[in-house]
Protein backbone atom coordinates (compact mmCIF):
# COMPACT_ATOMS: atom_id res chain seq x y z
CA UNK A 1 0.00 0.00 0.00
CA UNK A 2 1.33 3.46 -0.92
CA UNK A 3 2.32 6.14 1.56
CA UNK A 4 -0.44 8.32 0.11
CA UNK A 5 -3.00 5.61 0.83
CA UNK A 6 -1.80 5.23 4.42
CA UNK A 7 -2.08 8.95 5.02
CA UNK A 8 -5.46 9.15 3.35
CA UNK A 9 -6.72 6.57 5.83
CA UNK A 10 -6.14 9.18 8.54
CA UNK A 11 -9.30 10.81 7.20
CA UNK A 12 -11.20 8.34 9.36
CA UNK A 13 -9.64 9.94 12.45
CA UNK A 14 -9.60 13.63 11.53
CA UNK A 15 -12.30 15.91 10.19
CA UNK A 16 -11.14 17.37 6.89
CA UNK A 17 -14.35 19.31 6.34
CA UNK A 18 -12.65 22.67 6.90
CA UNK A 19 -9.63 21.97 4.69
CA UNK A 20 -8.03 25.08 6.16
CA UNK A 21 -4.70 23.78 4.93
CA UNK A 22 -5.05 25.68 1.71
CA UNK A 23 -6.19 28.89 3.43
CA UNK A 24 -2.61 29.31 4.64
CA UNK A 25 -1.74 30.06 1.02
CA UNK A 26 -5.19 30.86 -0.42
CA UNK A 27 -6.94 33.55 1.67
CA UNK A 28 -10.63 33.01 2.32
CA UNK A 29 -11.51 36.29 0.61
CA UNK A 30 -10.02 34.89 -2.62
CA UNK A 31 -12.29 31.87 -2.29
CA UNK A 32 -15.34 34.05 -1.68
CA UNK A 33 -14.58 36.15 -4.77
CA UNK A 34 -14.09 33.03 -6.85
CA UNK A 35 -17.38 31.48 -5.75
CA UNK A 36 -19.24 34.61 -6.88
CA UNK A 37 -18.51 33.36 -10.40
CA UNK A 38 -20.19 30.00 -9.81
CA UNK A 39 -22.51 29.08 -12.66
CA UNK A 40 -25.41 28.31 -10.28
CA UNK A 41 -26.16 30.08 -7.03
CA UNK A 42 -28.58 28.73 -4.46
CA UNK A 43 -29.76 29.53 -0.93
CA UNK A 44 -30.42 25.85 -0.23
CA UNK A 45 -28.14 24.36 2.41
CA UNK A 46 -26.63 21.62 0.29
CA UNK A 47 -24.69 18.67 1.54
CA UNK A 48 -21.93 19.59 -0.92
CA UNK A 49 -21.76 23.42 -0.87
CA UNK A 50 -19.68 25.25 -3.45
CA UNK A 51 -16.78 26.08 -1.13
CA UNK A 52 -16.32 22.40 -0.25
CA UNK A 53 -16.57 21.33 -3.89
CA UNK A 54 -13.78 23.77 -4.67
CA UNK A 55 -11.51 21.93 -2.23
CA UNK A 56 -12.69 18.65 -3.74
CA UNK A 57 -11.39 19.78 -7.14
CA UNK A 58 -7.98 20.38 -5.54
CA UNK A 59 -8.17 16.99 -3.86
CA UNK A 60 -8.78 15.39 -7.27
CA UNK A 61 -5.47 16.82 -8.44
CA UNK A 62 -3.57 15.83 -5.32
CA UNK A 63 -4.87 12.24 -5.16
CA UNK A 64 -5.06 11.14 -8.77
CA UNK A 65 -5.09 7.42 -7.95
CA UNK A 66 -8.35 7.75 -5.97
CA UNK A 67 -11.83 7.89 -7.61
CA UNK A 68 -13.50 11.27 -7.22
CA UNK A 69 -16.25 10.06 -4.90
CA UNK A 70 -13.63 8.29 -2.76
CA UNK A 71 -11.60 11.52 -2.46
CA UNK A 72 -14.76 13.28 -1.30
CA UNK A 73 -15.52 10.55 1.23
CA UNK A 74 -12.02 10.25 2.66
CA UNK A 75 -11.56 14.00 2.97
CA UNK A 76 -15.10 14.35 4.34
CA UNK A 77 -15.93 17.06 1.82
CA UNK A 78 -19.41 18.03 3.00
CA UNK A 79 -21.21 20.60 5.09
CA UNK A 80 -20.82 20.08 8.82
CA UNK A 81 -23.79 18.45 10.46
CA UNK A 82 -25.26 17.05 7.23
CA UNK A 83 -24.80 13.33 7.79
CA UNK A 84 -21.11 13.45 6.91
CA UNK A 85 -20.61 9.92 8.18
CA UNK A 86 -22.58 8.39 5.30
CA UNK A 87 -21.21 7.65 1.87
CA UNK A 88 -21.76 10.26 -0.80
CA UNK A 89 -23.52 9.19 -3.97
CA UNK A 90 -21.32 9.35 -7.06
CA UNK A 91 -24.01 11.23 -8.95
CA UNK A 92 -24.20 13.78 -6.14
CA UNK A 93 -20.51 14.55 -6.44
CA UNK A 94 -20.80 14.98 -10.21
CA UNK A 95 -23.83 17.26 -9.92
CA UNK A 96 -22.03 19.34 -7.28
CA UNK A 97 -19.08 19.81 -9.64
CA UNK A 98 -21.46 20.88 -12.42
CA UNK A 99 -23.04 23.48 -10.14
CA UNK A 100 -19.61 24.89 -9.30
CA UNK A 101 -18.47 25.10 -12.93
CA UNK A 102 -14.98 25.94 -14.17
CA UNK A 103 -14.96 29.75 -13.76
CA UNK A 104 -14.33 29.89 -9.97
CA UNK A 105 -11.41 27.46 -10.22
CA UNK A 106 -9.93 29.36 -13.17
CA UNK A 107 -10.26 32.69 -11.35
CA UNK A 108 -8.60 31.30 -8.24
CA UNK A 109 -5.71 29.86 -10.27
CA UNK A 110 -5.12 33.19 -12.00
CA UNK A 111 -5.19 34.97 -8.66
CA UNK A 112 -2.49 32.70 -7.25
CA UNK A 113 -0.43 33.11 -10.41
CA UNK A 114 -0.63 36.90 -10.25
CA UNK A 115 0.26 37.01 -6.54
CA UNK A 116 2.92 34.30 -6.40
CA UNK A 117 4.37 34.05 -9.90
CA UNK A 118 6.35 37.28 -9.77
CA UNK A 119 7.60 36.83 -6.19
CA UNK A 120 11.33 37.31 -5.88
CA UNK A 121 13.64 35.08 -3.87
CA UNK A 122 17.27 35.59 -2.92
CA UNK A 123 19.62 35.07 -5.87
CA UNK A 124 16.75 34.10 -8.21
CA UNK A 125 17.44 36.88 -10.72
CA UNK A 126 19.63 36.79 -13.80
CA UNK A 127 21.57 40.06 -14.03
CA UNK A 128 18.76 41.78 -12.07
CA UNK A 129 16.14 40.35 -14.47
CA UNK A 130 13.50 37.78 -13.53
CA UNK A 131 13.44 34.78 -15.83
CA UNK A 132 10.21 33.38 -17.28
CA UNK A 133 9.40 30.79 -19.93
CA UNK A 134 6.47 30.17 -22.28
CA UNK A 135 5.65 26.79 -23.79
CA UNK A 136 2.76 24.50 -24.55
CA UNK A 137 1.67 20.95 -23.71
CA UNK A 138 -1.12 18.57 -24.70
CA UNK A 139 -3.46 16.71 -22.34
CA UNK A 140 -5.59 13.77 -23.47
CA UNK A 141 -9.27 13.48 -22.57
CA UNK A 142 -11.52 10.40 -22.54
CA UNK A 143 -12.79 9.46 -25.99
CA UNK A 144 -16.45 10.46 -26.04
CA UNK A 145 -18.39 12.04 -28.94
CA UNK A 146 -18.93 15.23 -26.93
CA UNK A 147 -15.26 15.68 -26.05
CA UNK A 148 -13.99 14.73 -29.52
CA UNK A 149 -16.40 17.19 -31.11
CA UNK A 150 -15.26 20.02 -28.81
CA UNK A 151 -11.52 19.45 -28.42
CA UNK A 152 -10.66 17.66 -31.66
CA UNK A 153 -7.49 15.67 -32.16
CA UNK A 154 -4.44 15.38 -34.37
CA UNK A 155 -4.46 13.68 -37.75
CA UNK A 156 -2.42 10.60 -38.51
CA UNK A 157 -0.84 9.77 -41.92
CA UNK A 158 -4.03 7.87 -42.73
CA UNK A 159 -7.60 9.13 -42.54
CA UNK A 160 -7.81 8.05 -38.90
CA UNK A 161 -7.45 10.46 -36.00
CA UNK A 162 -5.40 10.08 -32.84
CA UNK A 163 -6.99 7.71 -30.29
CA UNK A 164 -7.96 10.43 -27.81
CA UNK A 165 -9.23 14.01 -28.07
CA UNK A 166 -6.58 16.51 -26.94
CA UNK A 167 -6.68 19.75 -25.00
CA UNK A 168 -3.98 22.35 -25.59
CA UNK A 169 -2.30 24.09 -22.65
CA UNK A 170 0.03 27.09 -23.00
CA UNK A 171 1.64 28.38 -19.80
CA UNK A 172 3.81 31.22 -18.55
CA UNK A 173 6.13 29.97 -15.80
CA UNK A 174 8.61 31.55 -13.41
CA UNK A 175 11.76 29.59 -14.27
CA UNK A 176 13.33 29.91 -10.82
CA UNK A 177 10.32 29.06 -8.60
CA UNK A 178 8.39 27.01 -11.20
CA UNK A 179 5.16 28.78 -10.22
CA UNK A 180 2.81 29.26 -13.19
CA UNK A 181 1.87 32.93 -13.62
CA UNK A 182 -0.84 32.37 -16.23
CA UNK A 183 -2.13 29.78 -18.66
CA UNK A 184 -4.58 29.36 -21.49
CA UNK A 185 -6.62 26.26 -22.37
CA UNK A 186 -8.19 25.55 -25.73
CA UNK A 187 -9.17 22.79 -28.16
CA UNK A 188 -6.31 21.13 -30.01
CA UNK A 189 -6.62 23.08 -33.27
CA UNK A 190 -5.94 26.52 -31.81
CA UNK A 191 -2.43 27.92 -32.27
CA UNK A 192 -0.02 28.08 -29.32
CA UNK A 193 1.17 31.49 -30.49
CA UNK A 194 -2.34 32.98 -30.45
CA UNK A 195 -2.91 31.58 -26.96
CA UNK A 196 0.36 33.13 -25.76
CA UNK A 197 -0.78 36.54 -27.06
CA UNK A 198 -3.48 36.58 -24.41
CA UNK A 199 -1.16 36.64 -21.39
CA UNK A 200 1.84 38.68 -22.60
CA UNK A 201 0.59 41.60 -20.49
CA UNK A 202 1.06 39.41 -17.40
CA UNK A 203 4.83 39.28 -17.88
CA UNK A 204 6.40 41.65 -15.30
CA UNK A 205 8.80 44.46 -16.19
CA UNK A 206 12.56 43.94 -15.75
CA UNK A 207 12.41 40.39 -17.02
CA UNK A 208 13.53 38.09 -19.82
CA UNK A 209 11.19 35.46 -21.28
CA UNK A 210 12.43 32.27 -22.93
CA UNK A 211 10.41 30.86 -25.83
CA UNK A 212 10.40 27.68 -27.86
CA UNK A 213 11.04 28.18 -31.59
CA UNK A 214 7.34 27.55 -32.29
CA UNK A 215 6.58 31.03 -30.92
CA UNK A 216 8.77 32.83 -33.45
CA UNK A 217 7.01 35.88 -34.85
CA UNK A 218 7.63 39.61 -35.18
CA UNK A 219 4.18 40.51 -33.86
CA UNK A 220 4.42 38.52 -30.63
CA UNK A 221 8.04 39.36 -29.80
CA UNK A 222 7.78 43.04 -30.68
CA UNK A 223 4.66 43.49 -28.60
CA UNK A 224 6.38 41.83 -25.64
CA UNK A 225 9.24 44.32 -25.71
CA UNK A 226 7.15 47.40 -26.38
CA UNK A 227 4.32 46.75 -23.90
CA UNK A 228 6.43 47.18 -20.75
CA UNK A 229 9.67 48.48 -19.31
CA UNK A 230 12.90 46.53 -19.74
CA UNK A 231 11.11 43.37 -20.92
CA UNK A 232 13.27 41.12 -23.09
CA UNK A 233 12.93 37.81 -24.89
CA UNK A 234 15.14 34.94 -26.04
CA UNK A 235 14.21 32.37 -28.70
CA UNK A 236 16.07 29.93 -30.99
CA UNK A 237 16.43 30.90 -34.63
CA UNK A 238 14.16 29.18 -37.14
CA UNK A 239 15.74 26.88 -39.69
CA UNK A 240 16.37 28.61 -43.04
CA UNK A 241 15.83 32.10 -41.62
CA UNK A 242 16.72 34.80 -44.18
CA UNK A 243 18.47 37.86 -42.72
CA UNK A 244 21.19 40.39 -43.48
CA UNK A 245 23.97 41.45 -41.16
CA UNK A 246 23.81 45.03 -39.89
CA UNK A 247 26.82 44.98 -37.57
CA UNK A 248 29.07 42.39 -35.92
CA UNK A 249 29.99 42.51 -32.26
CA UNK A 250 32.17 39.40 -32.17
CA UNK A 251 32.69 36.11 -34.00
CA UNK A 252 29.47 34.64 -32.59
CA UNK A 253 27.49 37.78 -31.91
CA UNK A 254 25.92 40.15 -34.43
CA UNK A 255 22.93 42.38 -35.23
CA UNK A 256 20.75 41.26 -38.16
CA UNK A 257 17.80 42.70 -40.08
CA UNK A 258 14.83 40.67 -41.29
CA UNK A 259 11.61 41.28 -43.19
CA UNK A 260 8.31 41.25 -41.35
CA UNK A 261 5.94 38.82 -43.06
CA UNK A 262 2.89 40.21 -44.89
CA UNK A 263 0.64 38.05 -42.70
CA UNK A 264 2.00 39.65 -39.53
CA UNK A 265 1.60 43.17 -40.94
CA UNK A 266 -1.94 42.36 -41.99
CA UNK A 267 -2.83 41.34 -38.44
CA UNK A 268 -0.98 44.35 -37.01
CA UNK A 269 -0.57 47.25 -39.48
CA UNK A 270 1.60 49.10 -36.93
CA UNK A 271 4.50 46.70 -37.52
CA UNK A 272 7.39 48.01 -39.66
CA UNK A 273 8.48 46.37 -42.89
CA UNK A 274 11.78 45.25 -41.29
CA UNK A 275 12.99 44.60 -37.77
CA UNK A 276 16.41 44.18 -36.21
CA UNK A 277 17.38 41.60 -33.60
CA UNK A 278 20.56 40.34 -32.00
CA UNK A 279 21.82 36.90 -33.08
CA UNK A 280 24.05 34.81 -30.76
CA UNK A 281 25.67 31.52 -31.81
CA UNK A 282 27.22 28.91 -29.54
CA UNK A 283 28.42 25.34 -29.74
CA UNK A 284 27.01 22.50 -27.65
CA UNK A 285 27.95 18.84 -28.06
CA UNK A 286 29.66 19.60 -31.33
CA UNK A 287 26.65 21.34 -32.87
CA UNK A 288 26.26 25.06 -33.52
CA UNK A 289 23.09 26.57 -32.10
CA UNK A 290 21.71 30.05 -32.77
CA UNK A 291 19.37 32.14 -30.63
CA UNK A 292 17.73 35.50 -31.26
CA UNK A 293 17.26 38.01 -28.47
CA UNK A 294 16.34 41.57 -27.57
CA UNK A 295 18.97 41.70 -24.81
CA UNK A 296 21.37 44.60 -25.53
CA UNK A 297 24.98 43.70 -26.27
CA UNK A 298 26.48 46.39 -24.07
CA UNK A 299 24.93 44.83 -20.93
CA UNK A 300 24.68 41.09 -21.60
CA UNK A 301 27.55 39.22 -23.24
CA UNK A 302 27.05 36.38 -25.70
CA UNK A 303 28.30 33.65 -23.36
CA UNK A 304 25.82 34.60 -20.65
CA UNK A 305 22.97 34.78 -23.16
CA UNK A 306 23.78 31.31 -24.55
CA UNK A 307 23.94 29.82 -21.07
CA UNK A 308 20.66 31.45 -20.06
CA UNK A 309 18.70 29.75 -22.82
CA UNK A 310 19.46 26.34 -21.31
CA UNK A 311 17.04 27.27 -18.53
CA UNK A 312 14.12 27.06 -20.94
CA UNK A 313 13.97 23.35 -20.11
CA UNK A 314 12.74 24.25 -16.62
CA UNK A 315 9.22 24.70 -17.98
CA UNK A 316 9.43 21.25 -19.56
CA UNK A 317 10.27 19.91 -16.10
CA UNK A 318 7.21 21.70 -14.75
CA UNK A 319 4.98 20.00 -17.33
CA UNK A 320 6.60 16.68 -16.45
CA UNK A 321 5.82 17.25 -12.78
CA UNK A 322 2.16 17.84 -13.62
CA UNK A 323 1.79 14.88 -15.97
CA UNK A 324 3.99 12.37 -14.19
CA UNK A 325 4.03 13.23 -10.49
CA UNK A 326 0.52 14.64 -10.09
CA UNK A 327 -1.33 12.77 -12.83
CA UNK A 328 0.58 9.53 -12.20
CA UNK A 329 1.18 9.20 -15.97
CA UNK A 330 -2.54 8.60 -16.46
CA UNK A 331 -3.53 8.11 -20.08
CA UNK A 332 -6.37 10.66 -19.90
CA UNK A 333 -7.97 13.19 -17.58
CA UNK A 334 -10.79 12.00 -15.29
CA UNK A 335 -13.81 14.02 -16.44
CA UNK A 336 -16.16 13.19 -19.32
CA UNK A 337 -17.93 16.52 -19.78
CA UNK A 338 -16.46 19.61 -21.46
CA UNK A 339 -17.08 21.96 -18.54
CA UNK A 340 -15.72 19.46 -16.04
CA UNK A 341 -12.59 18.90 -18.16
CA UNK A 342 -11.79 22.61 -17.93
CA UNK A 343 -12.60 22.58 -14.21
CA UNK A 344 -10.29 19.60 -13.66
CA UNK A 345 -7.34 21.16 -15.50
CA UNK A 346 -7.70 24.53 -13.75
CA UNK A 347 -7.80 22.63 -10.46
CA UNK A 348 -4.68 20.73 -11.48
CA UNK A 349 -2.82 23.98 -12.19
CA UNK A 350 -4.09 25.53 -8.95
CA UNK A 351 -2.92 22.56 -6.88
CA UNK A 352 0.44 22.65 -8.68
CA UNK A 353 0.88 26.31 -7.73
CA UNK A 354 -0.03 25.63 -4.09
CA UNK A 355 2.58 22.88 -3.87
CA UNK A 356 5.24 24.96 -5.62
CA UNK A 357 4.55 27.95 -3.39
CA UNK A 358 4.88 25.94 -0.19
CA UNK A 359 8.01 24.21 -1.54
CA UNK A 360 9.50 27.61 -2.39
CA UNK A 361 8.86 28.89 1.11
CA UNK A 362 10.50 25.76 2.54
CA UNK A 363 13.52 26.13 0.27
CA UNK A 364 14.01 29.74 1.34
CA UNK A 365 13.87 28.64 4.99
CA UNK A 366 16.82 26.32 4.28
CA UNK A 367 18.72 28.91 2.26
CA UNK A 368 18.26 26.98 -0.99
CA UNK A 369 16.79 27.84 -4.38
CA UNK A 370 13.08 26.97 -4.92
CA UNK A 371 13.94 24.86 -7.97
CA UNK A 372 16.18 22.65 -5.81
CA UNK A 373 13.13 20.95 -4.27
CA UNK A 374 12.29 17.52 -5.70
CA UNK A 375 8.69 17.89 -6.77
CA UNK A 376 7.29 14.36 -6.49
CA UNK A 377 8.12 13.71 -2.81
CA UNK A 378 7.24 17.31 -2.01
CA UNK A 379 3.87 16.81 -3.68
CA UNK A 380 3.16 13.70 -1.62
CA UNK A 381 4.50 15.18 1.59
CA UNK A 382 2.85 18.59 1.36
CA UNK A 383 -0.47 17.46 -0.09
CA UNK A 384 -1.07 14.91 2.66
CA UNK A 385 0.92 15.99 5.71
CA UNK A 386 -0.20 19.61 5.54
CA UNK A 387 -3.84 18.52 5.34
CA UNK A 388 -3.45 16.23 8.34
CA UNK A 389 -1.57 18.76 10.44
CA UNK A 390 -3.92 21.66 9.75
CA UNK A 391 -7.15 19.64 9.98
CA UNK A 392 -6.19 18.16 13.35
CA UNK A 393 -6.41 21.63 14.88
CA UNK A 394 -6.93 24.19 12.11
CA UNK A 395 -7.00 27.31 14.27
CA UNK A 396 -4.15 27.23 16.74
CA UNK A 397 -0.38 26.98 16.29
CA UNK A 398 -0.54 27.41 12.51
CA UNK A 399 2.89 28.98 12.35
CA UNK A 400 4.45 26.12 14.31
CA UNK A 401 2.86 23.51 12.05
CA UNK A 402 4.13 25.22 8.92
CA UNK A 403 7.59 25.39 10.46
CA UNK A 404 7.44 21.66 11.22
CA UNK A 405 6.23 20.95 7.70
CA UNK A 406 9.03 22.90 6.07
CA UNK A 407 11.57 21.29 8.37
CA UNK A 408 10.49 17.92 7.01
CA UNK A 409 11.24 19.04 3.47
CA UNK A 410 14.94 19.28 4.28
CA UNK A 411 15.50 15.81 2.81
CA UNK A 412 13.71 16.60 -0.44
CA UNK A 413 16.42 18.65 -2.14
CA UNK A 414 17.95 17.65 -5.43
CA UNK A 415 21.34 15.96 -5.34
CA UNK A 416 23.70 17.89 -7.63
CA UNK A 417 26.57 15.41 -7.39
CA UNK A 418 27.82 14.25 -10.81
CA UNK A 419 26.20 11.04 -11.97
CA UNK A 420 28.33 8.05 -13.01
CA UNK A 421 28.79 7.60 -16.72
CA UNK A 422 26.61 4.86 -18.20
CA UNK A 423 27.23 4.57 -21.96
CA UNK A 424 24.18 3.64 -23.97
CA UNK A 425 24.12 0.10 -25.36
CA UNK A 426 22.07 -1.47 -28.11
CA UNK A 427 19.69 -4.08 -26.71
CA UNK A 428 17.77 -6.77 -28.51
CA UNK A 429 14.52 -5.50 -29.99
CA UNK A 430 11.28 -6.58 -28.35
CA UNK A 431 9.31 -9.34 -30.04
CA UNK A 432 6.28 -11.33 -29.06
CA UNK A 433 7.81 -14.49 -30.50
CA UNK A 434 10.20 -16.68 -28.45
CA UNK A 435 13.86 -16.40 -29.35
CA UNK A 436 15.84 -19.63 -29.67
CA UNK A 437 19.41 -18.56 -29.02
CA UNK A 438 20.71 -22.04 -29.94
CA UNK A 439 19.09 -22.12 -33.37
CA UNK A 440 21.36 -22.17 -36.40
CA UNK A 441 21.50 -18.95 -38.43
CA UNK A 442 19.38 -18.73 -41.54
CA UNK A 443 21.16 -19.30 -44.88
Residue 330 placed within a domain: no
Per-residue model confidence as pLDDT tens digits over 57-72: 888 888 888 888 877 7
Domain match, 72 and 95 both: yes
Total number of domains constituting the chain: 2
Assess if residue 157 is contained within a domain: yes
Tens of pLDDT, residue by residue over 288-336, are 899 999 999 999 999 999 999 999 999 999 999 999 999 999 999 999 9
Per the prediction, the chain carries an average pLDDT of 78
Domain boundary among 318, 333, 365: 318
**In a shared domain, residues 64 and 130:** no
Any domain includes 419: no
199 and 52 belong to one structural domain: no
Do 267 and 192 share a domain, yes or no?
yes
Residues 19 and 90 in one domain: yes
Residue at which a domain ends, from 275, 302, 318: 318
The residue that leads in pLDDT, 178 or 79, is 178
Give the span between the Cα atoms of 225 and 214, in whole angstroms: 18
Q: Are 254 and 372 found together in one domain? A: no
Q: Are residues 157 and 90 in the same domain?
A: no
Residue 281 burial by CB count (10 A; 0-12/13-18/19+): exposed, middle or buried? middle
pLDDT range class, residue 414, cuts 50, 70, 90: low
Query: CA geometry: angle at 106 spanning 100 and 109, to 5°?
Result: 125
pLDDT at 22 over 90: no
Report the alpha-carbon distance of residue 180 to residue 173 in Å, rounded: 4
Which residues constitute the domain of residue 162? 117-318
Same domain, 154 and 220: yes
Q: Clarify whether residues 355 and 277 are in a common domain.
A: no
Domain annotation covers residue 418: no
Judge if 103 and 121 occupy the same domain: no
354 lies in the same domain as 310: no
Q: Round to whole Å and give the CA distance between 148 and 64.
A: 23
Contact 207, 129 (CB under 8 A): yes
Together in a domain, 41 and 161: no
Top pLDDT among 433 and 338 is at 338
Amino acid sequence: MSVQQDLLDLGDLFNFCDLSTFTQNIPLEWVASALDLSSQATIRRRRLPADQVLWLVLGMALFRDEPVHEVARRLNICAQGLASDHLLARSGVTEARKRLGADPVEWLFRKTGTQWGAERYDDDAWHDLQVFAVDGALLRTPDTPELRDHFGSGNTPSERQTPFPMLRLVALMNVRSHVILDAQLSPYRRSEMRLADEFLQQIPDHSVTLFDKGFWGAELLSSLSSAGSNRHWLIPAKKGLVCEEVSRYSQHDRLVRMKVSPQARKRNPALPSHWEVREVSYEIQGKVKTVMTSLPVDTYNAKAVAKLYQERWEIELGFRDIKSSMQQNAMTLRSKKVELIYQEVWGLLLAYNVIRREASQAAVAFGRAPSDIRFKPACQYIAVQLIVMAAANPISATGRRLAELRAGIGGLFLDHRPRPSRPRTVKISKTRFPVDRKAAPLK
